[in-house]
């Protein structure tokens, strides 16, 4: 089995005391049905800030501007029979509107109160990143 290294960028969008969360479609192979912030792999030669803004546009139809880096993580996974070492950089991103247009990757979205992450459905890592974006 071969090994690869992948880099991901995430966009944490907080607007009016609410954070944008997307639910991955049940048809997705990776984490189907889970809630989280817009996130995806960097394209070859792309910087992480540009990738976070691109992923936000692709997944939620929103144009954004990176404000700051709010977190990073490292995790291992398997993809197409390859061991993967993954790095995720998460950015606080501002937007001018809250009108979301979902991609096929996602089947729902919500603007969830950032003060009530217990009922949001996000995993612990997303929760930490959202809390850091809110405090930083």
| Matching CATH number, 3-135, of 3.40.50.300, 3.90.79.10, 3.40.47.10, 3.40.50.10490 | 3.90.79.10
Phi and psi, residue 60, nearest 5°: -125, 0
For residue 38, pLDDT beyond 70:
yes
Q: What is the reported pLDDT for 106?
A: 92
Counting other chains too, the contacts that 41-48 makes at CB distance below 8 Å and 24 or more residues apart are: 41/6, 41/7, 41/8, 42/7, 42/8, 42/9, 48/7, 48/9, 48/89, 48/91
- C-alpha distance across the termini of the chain, in Å: 40
For residue 14, pLDDT beyond 80:
yes
Angle at the Cα of 35 from the Cα atoms of 30 and 39, rounded to 5 degrees: 65
The distance from CA 84 to its chain's CA centroid, rounded to whole angstroms, is 18
Q: What is the reported pLDDT for 111?
A: 98
DSSP code at position 120: S
C-alpha–C-alpha distance, residues 130 and 18, integer Å? 10
Residue 1: pLDDT band with limits 50, 70, 90 = low
Q: How do residues 63-116 score in pLDDT, each as one tens digit?
A: 999 999 999 988 888 877 888 898 999 999 999 999 999 999 999 999 999 999
Q: What is the reported pLDDT for 113?
A: 97
Global confidence as pTM: 0.90
Q: What is the reported pLDDT for 136?
A: 55
């Amino acid at each position: 089995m071969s090994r690869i290294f992948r880099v991901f960028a995430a966009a944490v969008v907080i607007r009016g005391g609410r954070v944008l969360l997307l639910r991955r479609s049940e048809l997705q192979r990776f984490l189907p049905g889970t809630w989280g912030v817009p996130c995806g792999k960097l394209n070859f030669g792309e910087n992480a800030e540009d990738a976070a803004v691109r992923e936000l546009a692709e997944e939620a139809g929103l144009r954004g501007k990176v404000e700051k880096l709010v977190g990073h993580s490292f995790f291992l996974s398997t993809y197409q029979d390859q061991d993967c070492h993954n790095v995720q950089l998460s950015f606080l991103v501002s937007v001018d509107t809250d009108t979301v247009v979902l991609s096929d990757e996602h089947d729902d979205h919500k603007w969830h109160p950032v003060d009530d992450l217990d009922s949001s459905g996000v995993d612990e890592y997303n929760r930490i990143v959202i809390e850091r974006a809110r405090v930083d």
